[in-house]
Amino acid sequence: MTDRKPTTCMRCAVGCGYRQRAGDGGDLVEVRGDDDHPTNGGETCSRGVRETVDPSGERLTQPLIRRGGTLRPTDWDTVLGTVSVRIIEALRNGNDNVAVLGSGQQTNEAAYALGKLARGGFGTRHYDANTTLCMASAVQAYMQAFGSDAPPPTYEDVPDAETHVIWGANPKIAHPVLYRRIADSASDDGGELIVVDPVESETAADADLHVRPEPGTDLALARAVLARAVDDDLVDREFVERHTEGFEAVVGSLPDVDVAAETAGVSVDRISELAAAFDARTLVYWGMGVNQSVQGTGAARSLIDLCLATGNLGPGSGPFSLTGQANSMGNRVCASKSSWPGYRPFGDTAHRKAIANAWDVPLSRLPDSSGPGFVRIIDELARDNVDVCWTVATNPAAGMPDANHVESALEDAFLIVQDAFRSDTVELADVVLPAATWGESEGTVMNMERRVSRVTAAREPPDGVRQDVDIIGAVADRIVPELFESTRLDPEALFDEVAALTRGTTADLSGISYGRLSEDLAVRWPASDETAEGGYRYYAGGSEDDGDAGGVGAAAAGVPDGDGPWSFPTDSGRARFSNASHGGIPEPIDEAYPLTLTTGRRPDAYNTGVRTRPDGDDESATAARMHPETIADNLRAFDRGETVIESRRSAVTVRVAPDADVPPGLVWLPVHNPATNRLTLSAADPDSAEPNLKQCAVALRAPDRMATEIVGGSGQPNGTGSHP
């Protein structure tokens, strides 16, 4: 037996510390919580442990190349030679002729190396990661409101909150360890848990108040709540006047409460109750139910506006987006995706010059635009404007909306798939690069509260499998050999390189090193030296690095305002209100498509399901949930417990589970399921490029027994990647 090695769970973005141990045969035999880890103090969830020790997906253990229409085993020299030739040929026709799609499942080091190769080696605009499908709307909201990405609060604020508002998220399923803290705090005397969700989720079942808006109307509801807060004099005028800008403009743009309530399908009394909840120390958490919308950025901004208007910024309060993928934030900070490392602005010439100098590449090679985003890159593939597509730790054939369109686009390109498990995207690949997975890789990740921690290898990858950084380095060596110092990239050296590039930025990692992480296990940025650690963001009364947020917070909670100034990295130094208004849903129901499809997470699978294929006999894991009234109204559409769900894009046959927790007129399917996403539409938020995965119009019809596509056959939800 090996010694237990410290690592980080890659199941979600809570970032729990684990201790892992391999047996004499090299397999992981034990994973347990790390009692010393500052994130979780030894707590775990059974799913995280199970999916780390014993994933049930089909492992990729050797390179594959398509010959005669079939993927066949080959060797690394052959597959890397093929990859390099095809990429070099494509680049001759322009830098943007190669698309690279990364993942929130990569380590910081792999994400940084891939971004460096895509931007500095290939010079392509067509580079993104599947984090755009999950967190882009929250990112844009933070940037627009505060001038920087990432939520202001930390986990340490959870016990101090009096009210917990969970909006469009189900953390009891998606983030169990964090949810225990939320539930414990809400159960204290005077505590309250409020859930906003069209469906009575597992989290909503615990709530003191459950508000059920129509899918796609979160922005209308949030604006109505802010209007009621203004009407009921719940505004913290001192905080607003001293530390924000744009408040009068937003007040002038607010809707009539009665009209907005009708739009959202929520009673005015419920809106009044929601507004009153902010007259306390309040944390607002939100997830994909808010983000995955054509109005996701506006809805997230409106939740931030509610916090600003009521003075709920400070210890125990504030806006806190919940991240699904384990390293979504690390991808944003390190990967050169929508900003250069450290959130350096993409189009800023000085920052582009700094990156070009650090990478020793021509400035002209670096794109001056971050590109069209994940969804629109697929559209470029479909238009034959991109010849080569390289996916890393992501499964777009299952996780993207309008999956038939996605499959067709990927089939038209020369498709390189780098992954650890067989996936829907692997089936479309021209070449497959088998990658190491949890317990076999070295690097770091960042959790949703900005803590950086190590992931470590307790065992060697199977023969024929390589770590992500080694694959990226080998590809780079054949195409741009001068980009990296060595073919075999060293994770620690890569981390030191990206940390140096973040020095002095709003996401400063320069005080974090592998040596420090071996002692402290996890360190929250910004950390500008070897003793600094970030706390509550933007409060300048105490050092942001010393973890002490000072004494400013929600006036209604008795936290005095005035001990020191807030400082935001905006032009004015103030937080900014927004004036977005509800513009309607992209695909309303009508006579032809009279029902609304929405999607959500299940507790029994990871990402698109490639690690956790459910048992085919487990009907509860593969069925569409519908209210009995919906079933009764559509009896002719059912045959032997099955129906066909049809949208304007496709139709799929599903098993049906009657469920009164789903309101009448709504059809619930698991998110990021490949059959589900044949139905969803690719309309996207214009600010964030995040797709509208939570709402589309559908109809039911009787099954055609010649068609047998059953939801669940290709996996289940919770993100869009399949290995870190």
Count Cα atoms within 13 angstroms, Cβ side, for 470.
Answer: 13
Answer yes or no: is 232 within a domain.
Answer: yes
Confidence (pLDDT) at 1: 53
Q: Indicate the pLDDT class of residue 53, thresholds 50, 70 and 90.
A: confident
The whole-number average pLDDT for the span 23-27 is 79
Could you tell me if 265 and 333 lie in one domain? Answer: no
> What average pLDDT score do residues 201-227 get?
97
Q: Could you tell me if 182 and 118 lie in one domain?
A: no
Q: Assign residue 654 the CATH number of its domain.
A: 2.40.40.20
**pLDDT at residue 640 tops 50:** yes
**Same structural domain, 171 and 317:** yes
Boundary residue ending a domain (419, 451, 481): 481
User: Which residue segment(s) compose the domain that 106 sits in?
Assistant: 64-130+327-440+465-481
Q: Does 55 map to a domain?
A: no
In a domain, residue 543? The reply is no
What backbone torsions phi and psi does residue 124 show, to the nearest 5 degrees?
A: -85, 145
Q: List the structure tokens of 340.
A: 């250069």
Average pLDDT of the segment spanning 672-699: 94
Same domain, yes or no, for 306 and 405? no
The helix/strand/coil state of 161 is coil
* CA atoms in the 13 A half-sphere facing the CB of 578: 25
pLDDT at residue 714 is higher than 60: no
Same-domain pairing of 374 and 469 = yes
Tokens 């594959």 appear where?
64
Q: What is the pLDDT of residue 227?
A: 98
Average per-residue pLDDT in the chain? 91
Residue 528 lies in a domain: no
Per-residue confidence (pLDDT) for residue 631, from 0 to 100: 97
347 has a pLDDT exceeding 50: yes
Helix (H, G, I), strand (E, B) or coil at 344: strand
The pair phi, psi for residue 643, each rounded to 5°, is -150, 170
218 falls within a domain: yes
Q: CA–CA separation, 554 vs 575, rounded Å?
A: 15
Q: What tens digit of pLDDT does each residue of 541-561 get?
A: 533 343 333 323 333 333 333
SS3 625: strand
Residues 475, 365 share a domain = yes
Q: DSSP secondary structure string, 390-411?
A: EEESB-HHHHSSSHHHHHHHHH
pTM, entire model: 0.93
Query: What percent of the chain has pLDDT above 90?
Result: 84
Q: CA-to-CA distance for 209 and 227, rounded, in angstroms? A: 20
Q: Specify whether 374 is located in the same domain as 227.
A: no
- DSSP 3-state assignment of 448? coil
- The separation between CA 389 and the C-alpha centre of its own chain, rounded to angstroms, equals 22
Instruction: Summarize pLDDT for 490-536 with one digit per residue, the tens.
Output: 999 999 999 999 999 999 999 999 999 999 999 999 999 999 999 99
- 175 lies in the same domain as 270: yes
pLDDT confidence of 605, banded at 50, 70, 90? low
pLDDT of residue 221: 98
In the predicted structure, residue 32 carries a pLDDT above the cut 90: yes
pLDDT of 563 = 44
Angle at 374 between CA 373 and CA 380, to 5 degrees: 85
Q: Where are the alpha helices (DSSP H) in 207-359?
A: 218-231, 237-243, 247-253, 257-264, 268-277, 288-291, 296-309, 328-334, 349-359
Domain count for the chain: 3
Residues 343 and 412 in one domain: yes
Instruction: Tell me: do 424 and 365 sit in the same domain.
Output: yes
Is there a domain that residue 622 lies in? yes
Burial of residue 70 (CB within 10 Å: 0-12, 13-18, 19+) is: exposed
Instruction: Give the tens place of pLDDT for each residue, 262-302.
Output: 999 999 999 999 999 999 999 999 999 999 999 999 999 99
- pLDDT of 392 higher than 60: yes
Q: Is residue 693 part of a domain?
A: yes
Q: Are residues 311 and 229 in the same domain?
A: yes
pLDDT digits (tens, 9 = 90+) for 130-145: 999 999 999 999 999 9
Over residues 560-577, the pLDDT tens digits come to 333 457 999 999 999 999
Exposed, middle or buried: residue 256 (CB in 10 Å: 0-12, 13-18, 19+)? exposed
Answer yes or no: do 123 and 172 share one domain: no
- What was the pLDDT predicted at 8? 97
Q: Greater confidence, 623 or 82?
A: 82
Tokens 């990206």 identify what position?
Answer: 498
Q: What is the mean pLDDT of residues 149-166?
A: 97
Q: How much of the chain exceeds pLDDT 70, in percent?
A: 92
Which CATH number do you get for residue 179? 3.40.228.10
**Mean pLDDT, range 617-643, rounded to an integer:** 83
**Angle at the Cα of 533 (from 529 to 535), degrees rounded to 5?**
145
Cβ 414 vs Cβ 93: under 8 Å: no
CATH code: domain of residue 432:
3.40.50.740
- How far apart CA 187 and CA 519 sit, in angstroms, is 35
Cβ–Cβ < 8 Å for 450, 534 = yes
Q: Is residue 584 part of a domain?
A: no
Sign of the CA dihedral with 73 first, then 77, 82, and 83 last: positive
> Which residue type does 492 have?
E
Secondary structure (DSSP) of 483-502: SSS-SS--HHHHHHHHHHHT
Identify the pLDDT of residue 547: 35
pLDDT at residue 378 in the model = 97
pLDDT at 42: 96
Q: Which residues contact 416 (CB under 8 A, 6 or more apart)?
A: 83, 86, 388, 389, 390, 391, 429, 430, 431, 433
User: What does the pLDDT average to over 86-99?
Assistant: 98
Q: In whole angstroms, what is the distance from residue 530 CA to residue 313 CA?
A: 28
Widest distance between CA atoms in the chain: 72
**pLDDT at position 620, please?**
35
Tell which of 293, 321, 349 closes a domain. 321
3-state DSSP: the chain helix, strand, coil percent, rounded to 5?
Answer: 35, 20, 50
Residues 390-412 have a mean pLDDT of: 96
